[in-house]
Structure 1
Amino acid sequence: MEPAERPEKQVKRNPVPSLLTSLLTDHLDPGYGAAAAERTAQHTRKPRVPAALWLLGGAVVVGVIFGIAFSQLASGGADVDRAGSDASAAVRAAQDRSAELEATLQALVEQVSSERDRALQSDVTGSALLDRLSAVESAAGIDSVTGPGLSVVVTEPVAEDAASDRSIRGGSGAAVLDRDIAAIVNSLWASGAEAVSVDGIRVGPNVTIRQAGGAMLLDNRPIDSPYAIEAIGPPQRIQVQFVVSDAYLRMSTVAQLYDVGFTVRPATDLELGPAAVRESFVAEEVGRR
């Protein structure tokens, strides 16, 4: 008896490979999924140190840094203030010492002048020499003089609006410049003045009028507005010649443009002190080359 025939196994045509199936169904490599799962597990895991502690620590560090910076700034400001106070005190002490020495020098000059006059007045030759010395001293401005003359006052304008530049000339921040004062002084000399002073400082040979920043300096000494310029001499003659000078016309224009105060009036009794005594230099010709 023959065994029954087994049914033939149906053969699939065009089988689909497993690799192609995985490519069609799984769009990502399994490694990507594992990495994503690991990252998710790490994010869900509780941190060892809470975020609040990190914030607190950062705030403490920032506070310490700001505290150190503030303490250094405060100590530096105190040092600057102390240095400024010391410098101001030193300047005041130097000014007081300079004024004291100047007064002592003036007293000694007057004493020497008195002794000289007493010695030279004994004979005719000495009297003639004394007259020549007096003329030279008067020209040098080292003696006190009194008499009538002319008074000129120049005043800085009142700054009503700090933002306005109407009262500012040049880069000095002032309306009255050093060349204005110098022009007035020179015109007074040319008008016949015998002695001139500005704010009580006698104008003699080698005296300079300069402007440093916003400060006006006469013979390296500061002067302030109003600038009182006094000239001793024949009042009428000085005034007549001064009002037609270039300096008068210049200051009249400045007064109109920049609101500068400018007044001229005769004075009956002026007293001008001596100018600073300076070292004399003599040059002699020793020969030709």
Structure 2
Amino acid sequence: MTQPGSRDRVPSLLRSLLYDHLDPGYAAAARKRVDAGTRSPRARRIAAVWLVSGALLVGMSLGLARGFAEERAPDADQVRASLQAEIRSAQARSRELALQRDALAAEAAAARSQALALDAPGQALLSTLHRAENAAGSVPVSGPGLMVMITEPPGQRDLSGASRPTGQRNTILDRDLQIVVNALWQAGAEAVAVGDVRVGPGVAIRQAGSAILVDNRVAADSSGTYVISAVGDRREMQSRFIASGAYIRMSGISQLYGAAFTVREESEITLPAAPVREVRSAVRLGTEGSGIEEEGEP
């Protein structure tokens, strides 16, 4: 039988909380400090030496790392400048080769036209080729037309994306230009260009960060203006374009966000040829089988 008062020998949790205010860990820590204070002077000196040595080692490591980073910084700048110079040189060489290609293509087209114009079958073939070239946009075109200019609102002119604050978005998006271009085609345009790039087969208008690219070229000029040119019957195109959903959409964006949107007639517009695509495969008409040939074969 349990003796009276035996419950008091084992204090309950509530009794411990009420009367034992000091956690046992504090008492153990206090005893440890007392024991550490009773160490010999030699032990304390050894501990101090280890502490100072560790601090010096950490400081030397940080200093060496900083010095190494500072030594590498000029090298990184030089490498970046060298790469930028190489890119500019390659771009200049690419433009030079493109001009040579266009000149050679013009010479070949002139020789072809001269050879085909000698007889009736050649003239018929030449007419078919001209229609195909115009449809593909592979030749420059000039004539009257419309010019649509869309400018980003003030404060959003840096379209490279390099210094644009995080979270800031363009007012004019790629789908806006796509809608305008499609509306011009529907209004009767014979040829359309965005900036210096002719819109043709394989030419895409897409967003890349804060920039809009047309055939991988930045569509906006230095002032943040997108210029869309269309060759055709300017009066009919203007009346049909103003009645289109694209005009209503861009007018609303202009009023809501402050983007400049203008449409004007031009008596003479010259559009460049569309980018030339490399032929990688061809189908020979009138042959059996797949007819797909390897690159380089006739």
Q: Shared fold (TM-score greater than 0.5)? A: yes
Change (3 A) 1:48 1:254: closer
CA contact (8 A) 1:254 1:260 kept: yes
CA distance in structure 2 between the partners assigned to 1:282 and 1:249 by the alignment: 43
Query: 1:101 corresponds to which letter in structure 2?
Result: L
Give the alignment of 1:42-121 within 5 angstroms. Answer: 63-121=59-117
Change (3 A) 1:61 1:238: same
Question: Residue in 2 aligned with 1:198?
Answer: 194
Q: Which has the larger radius of gyration?
A: 1
SS of the residue corresponding to residue 143 of structure 1 reads coil
Question: Residue in 2 aligned with 1:258?
Answer: 257
Match of 2:219 among 207, 223, 228: 223
CA contact (8 A) 1:142 1:277 kept: yes
Which has the higher mean CA deviation after the structures are superposed, 145-154 or 93-102?
93-102
Change (3 A) 1:203 1:63: same
CA distance in structure 2 between the partners assigned to 1:213 and 1:57 by the alignment: 51
Shift of 1:66: 3.6
Give the alignment of 1:1-289 within 5 angstroms. Answer: 63-159=59-155, 173-224=169-220, 225-280=224-279, 282=282
SS of the residue corresponding to residue 236 of structure 1 reads helix
Query: 1:111 corresponds to which letter in structure 2?
Result: E
CA distance in structure 2 between the partners assigned to 1:190 and 1:40 by the alignment: 96
Shift of 1:215: 1.8
Shift of 1:97: 2.0
- Give percent identity, aligned residues only: 42
Gapped regions of structure 2 (runs ≥ 5): 1-33, 159-163, 291-298
Shift of 1:172: 7.6
Q: Give the TM-score normalised by the residue count of structure 2.
A: 0.70
CA distance in structure 2 between the partners assigned to 1:92 and 1:119 by the alignment: 41
Change (3 A) 1:48 1:148: closer
Query: 1:110 corresponds to which letter in structure 2?
Result: A
SS of the residue corresponding to residue 277 of structure 1 reads coil
SS of the residue corresponding to residue 117 of structure 1 reads helix
SS of the residue corresponding to residue 118 of structure 2 reads coil
Change (3 A) 1:275 1:172: farther
Shift of 1:60: 5.7
SS of the residue corresponding to residue 71 of structure 2 reads helix
Change (3 A) 1:220 1:42: closer
SS of the residue corresponding to residue 80 of structure 1 reads helix
CA distance in structure 2 between the partners assigned to 1:147 and 1:259 by the alignment: 32
CA contact (8 A) 1:172 1:213 kept: no
Change (3 A) 1:107 1:262: same
CA distance in structure 1 between the partners assigned to 2:143 and 2:172 by the alignment: 28
Shift of 1:58: 7.6
Change (3 A) 1:41 1:105: closer
Shift of 1:206: 1.5
Change (3 A) 1:172 1:241: farther
CA distance in structure 2 between the partners assigned to 1:41 and 1:191 by the alignment: 96
SS of the residue corresponding to residue 98 of structure 1 reads helix
Which has the higher mean CA deviation after the structures are superposed, 261-270 or 278-287?
278-287
SS of the residue corresponding to residue 96 of structure 1 reads helix
SS of the residue corresponding to residue 237 of structure 2 reads helix
CA distance in structure 2 between the partners assigned to 1:84 and 1:255 by the alignment: 40
Change (3 A) 1:227 1:41: closer
Question: Residue in 2 aligned with 1:25?
Answer: none
SS of the residue corresponding to residue 136 of structure 1 reads helix
Shift of 1:181: 0.8
